[in-house]
Amino acid sequence: MNSLVILLLSAALLLGIMMWKRKPPAVWREIPAFTRLHSTLGLSVEDGTRLHVSLGSGSLLDASAGSALAGLAMLRIVAERTSVSDNPIVASAGNPTLGLLAQDTLQAGYQAAGVYDLYVPTTGRLTGLTPFGYAAGAMHISKNEDVSANILLGHFSSEVALLAEASDRENVTLIGASDNLTGQAVLFASTQDALIGEELFAAGAYLNAGDSHTASLTVQDILRWLVIAALLGGAFAKFAGII
């Protein structure tokens, strides 16, 4: 059953990509956090400051895999667009596999920008093996490495408060999203423009990362309306005594 659902969703995504290529660019609703992120990327290159992308401590083998992949997609875009900065972007992770993928993603971003020789392998880091150990290791990056913005995108729980507090103490811009309700609550209270719910997975589309990201967001909207229609239909059938 799960395999069938995955196949159907994959088919819907591919159909969305094909349909999207035939349509003019969409106009998305404004999300202040992504507007701030756009300006942050440009300012970091102009100022010669460093960006820190934190991927959380999620695993690729459980329910947090989606947020981890979304964080890697964001890292790929940010690495490519800030590759010519005087201070290279830094990525931190709290999972060994995610740490290795962070290094590979940074490498791919620099290669796509045509400046592969500027890639520094040590900018992709595993800062801890437990959630709080990871946060304790990552929070020092803001203080010691001339960071102008912390971009938190992945699986975070209550430990994200340490990263938020470190950003506030160093007067560093904080943009964050988590797939965990506790993490979302902390970030909502700690950031000026919070990303809520499925906005976590919209980063690629809002940063013009490619047709696949745009189609993915379109498919999410379609499936959301289908779920709403199914719920309303079930409620009506129950009210009418059909079921």
- pLDDT (mean) for 122-127: 92
At residue 196, the pLDDT reads 83
Given pLDDT bands bounded at 50, 70 and 90, which one contains residue 116?
confident
Given pLDDT bands bounded at 50, 70 and 90, which one contains residue 242?
confident
At residue 27, the pLDDT reads 67
Q: Is the pLDDT of residue 24 over 60?
A: no
- pLDDT (mean) for 207-214: 70
Q: Is the pLDDT of residue 2 over 60?
A: no
Task: Say which residue the tokens 């756009």 belong to.
Answer: 38
Q: Which two tokens stand for residue 121?
A: 């392998």
At residue 104, the pLDDT reads 93
Q: Is the pLDDT of residue 6 over 70?
A: no
- pLDDT (mean) for 186-199: 83
Query: What is the C-alpha to C-alpha distance for residues 50 and 53, in angstroms, rounded to an integer?
Result: 10
Q: Which two tokens stand for residue 189?
A: 């209270």
Given pLDDT bands bounded at 50, 70 and 90, which one contains residue 3?
low
pLDDT tens sequence across 145-158: 889 899 999 999 99
Q: Which residues in 63-79 are b (16+ Cβ under 10 Å) and which e?
A: ebebbbbbbbbbbbbbb
- pLDDT (mean) for 108-137: 90
Residues 6 or more apart from 198 whose CB is under 8 A from it?
220
pLDDT tens sequence across 176-185: 999 899 999 9
pLDDT tens sequence across 57-102: 988 888 888 888 888 988 998 898 888 888 889 999 999 999 999 9
Report strand pairing: 147-155 vs 50-56. Answer: parallel
Q: Which two tokens stand for residue 176?
A: 């964050």
Question: Considering the entire predicted model, what is its pTM?
Answer: 0.81
Percent of residues in the chain assigned helix, strand, coil, to nearest 5: 60, 10, 25
Query: What is the C-alpha to C-alpha distance for residues 69 and 165, in angstroms, rounded to an integer?
Result: 25
Q: What is the dihedral of CA 16, 17, 20, 26, to 10 degrees?
A: 90
Report strand pairing: 124-126 vs 147-155. Answer: unpaired
At residue 49, the pLDDT reads 86
